[in-house]
Structure 1
Amino acid sequence: MEKGKGVMVGRRWAVDFTDNSTTPSSRDIPDPPGFTRASHDQDDSTLSRQKKGAEANWKVQKAWEVAQAPFKNLLMMGFMMWMAGSTVHLFSIGITFSALWQPISALQGVGKVFEPYKDSKVDLLGPKLLFIALNLGGLALGVWKLNTLGLLPTHASDWVSSLSPAQEVEYSGGGIPLH
């Protein structure tokens, strides 16, 4: 536009913002491609409800993933205990106490583990119960390994030194039979 004149000269793209009463209303002008007035005019509460619903679904899904995580640890620990053997030595004792310590510390921190997924729309009871059950299974695996190593006090003579040790039920030996 030239100075002082209301006429546009020399510009290829220009918009005239003058108010002409003969121009059609904004509702008569079609929406540009990719834009719909209906989605723009949609109620904001509906959008926020959909967003909160999607967030709640995501939190439930992640809570179940966290709840199932001890299963992988359970399989790995079981394999390591199997590889350690049933004799009492430093490696087998270390693996066994690690198998006992991990579930105990996980059970103490159940609230912290599921804290990021706490929401009024998210029910965390199922994931928490699964998490607790899998960690109790890991604890049982560690106690079983202690028993196979012979480190659990299972007889009264383990507690009182004046009692005689438990009688062995069976024994095995190789070689030539004695008659």
Structure 2
Amino acid sequence: MEKGKGVMVGSVGRRWGIDFSDNSTSPSSRDFLDPPGFSRASLDHDDSSLTRQNKDAESTWKSQKAWEVAQAPFKNLLMMGFMMWMAGSTVHLFSIGITFSALWQPISALQSLGKIFEPYKDAKVELLAPKLLFIALNLGGLALGVWKLNAMGLLPTHTSDWVSSLPPAQEVEYSGGGINLG
């Protein structure tokens, strides 16, 4: 088989074959005229508008995902509140474990705030409001955990909790109810 300039000649070869290794005689693609009705200017304009639309769609998606991430602690807040209610207010291993879990989760989420919203950074996406909502919901979860600690009596709220020589605070307990008609 003999190679010609751009055409393969021989009895075994293909009838129409092109050798692309010889660039000296083959015309470049820019020498060909565009087909009728085709305009490269309109193609470039369409690409730029598609690129702009893609960027707008991506920034909209990032904004929506940032809001979803910001609202995620609300679900955790409801679940943790239900678990603390089910655990009761007595001091035992299960209720203490749930309470410290309720305290630990918001603290660790607040520490990793930058990493959580890192994938959604964009010039067109405003992350301040989702971050503030995320912080507020996590602070609400932290407040729920502190309230549970107080309900179990594990927070030092009286001076007798700090100074051993003072007597403990007296529990004031009263019961009301019933109607006194006489």
Q: Per the shorter chain, which TM-score range? A: 0.7 to 0.9
Corresponding residue of 1:26: 35
- The answer to whether structure 1 residue 132 and structure 2 residue 141 are counterparts is no
Q: Which runs of 5+ in 1 are unaligned?
A: 4-24, 173-179
2:168 partner amino acid: P
Structure 2: gaps of 5 or more residues: 1-8, 10-33, 176-182
For 1:86, the aligned partner's letter is S
Mapped partners of 2:64, 2:159: distance in 1? 49
Q: Secondary structure at the match of 2:84?
A: helix
Percent identity, please: 82
SS in 2 for 1:59: helix
2:116 aligned to 113, 117, 123, which one?
113
Mapped partners of 1:97, 1:55: distance in 2: 39
TM-score, normalised to structure 1, is 0.74
Q: Which residue of 2 is the match for residue 68 of structure 1?
A: 71
Cα deviation, residue 44, structure 1: 3.0
Pairing 1:166–2:175 present: no
Q: TM-score with structure 2 length normalisation?
A: 0.72
Alpha-carbon distance, 1:167 to partner: 1.9
1:127: how far off? 0.5
Looking at structure 2, the residues matched to 58 and 39 of structure 1 have their Cα atoms a distance apart, in angstroms, of: 28
Where does 1:32-43 land on structure 2 (aligned, <5 Å)? Answer: 40-43=43-46
Aligned equivalents of 2:163, 2:129: Cα separation in 1: 44
Q: Distance in 1 between matches of 2:66 and 2:57?
A: 14
Specify the alignment match of 1:53 in structure 2: 56
- Tell me which residue corresponds to 1:15: none
One-letter amino acid matched to 1:109: S
For these two proteins, the number of residue pairs brought into alignment is: 144
Aligned to 1:166, the other structure's residue is in SS state: coil
Read off the aligned partner of 2:97 and give its amino acid letter. Answer: G
Q: 1:142 aligns with which of 141, 145, 157?
A: 145
Cα distance, 1:108 vs structure 2: 0.5
Cα distance in 1 for partners of 2:172, 2:60 equals: 57
Structure 1 residue 75: deviation in Å?
0.6
Amino acid at match of 2:36: R
